[in-house]
Amino acid sequence: MQTKAPEQKGRHAFRLSFEFFPPKSLEMEAHLWESVSDFTEWDPEFVSVTYGAGGSTKAPTFSTIQRLMSDTPMATASHLTCVDAAREETLAVIEELRAAGVRHIVALRGDPSAGIGTAYQPHPEGYANAADLVAALKDVGGFEISVSAYPEKHPESTDTNADIEMLKRKADNGADRALTQFFFDNDVFERYMDKVRAAGITLPVVPGIMPIQNLSMLKRFAGRCGSTVPEFLDRRFAGTEDDAVARAEVAADVAAEQIQDLIRRGLGEFHIYTMNRSALTNAVLERLGRQRVSVKEGAVA
In the beta sheet, which residues pair with residue 177?
A: 146
Percent of the residues in the chain that have a pLDDT greater than 70, as a whole number: 90
d(CA 30, CA 11): 31
Q: Where are the domains of the chain?
A: 15-300
* 1-5, 50-54, 94-98: range with lowest mean pLDDT: 1-5
**Tell me: the pLDDT tens digits for 5-34?**
444 444 688 999 999 999 989 999 999 999
**In this structure, what are the phi and psi dihedrals at residue 25, rounded to the nearest 5 degrees?**
-155, 165
The model's pTM is: 0.91
Q: Worst-scoring range by mean pLDDT, 155-159, 196-200, 207-211, 262-266?
A: 155-159
Q: Which residues are catalytic?
A: 19
Percent of the chain topping pLDDT 90 = 78
238 vs 1, which has greater pLDDT?
238
Query: In the beta sheet, which residues pair with residue 106?
Result: 79, 146
**Alpha carbon of 75 to those of 47, 134, 260: distances in Å?**
6, 20, 25
Higher pLDDT, 40 or 13: 40
Please name which of 108, 7, 122, 132 lies closest in space to residue 52, comparing C-alpha atoms: 108
CA 263 – CA 257 distance, rounded (Å) = 10
Mean pLDDT, residues 173-178: 98
- State the alpha helices, DSSP H only, in 113-243: 130-140, 160-172, 186-198, 215-225, 231-237
Question: Domain 15-300: which topology?
Answer: TIM Barrel (3.20.20)
Q: What is the structure's pLDDT at 148?
A: 97
pLDDT tens digit sequence for 188-221: 999 999 999 999 999 999 999 999 999 999 999 8
How many Cα atoms sit within 13 Å of 157 on the Cβ side?
Answer: 18
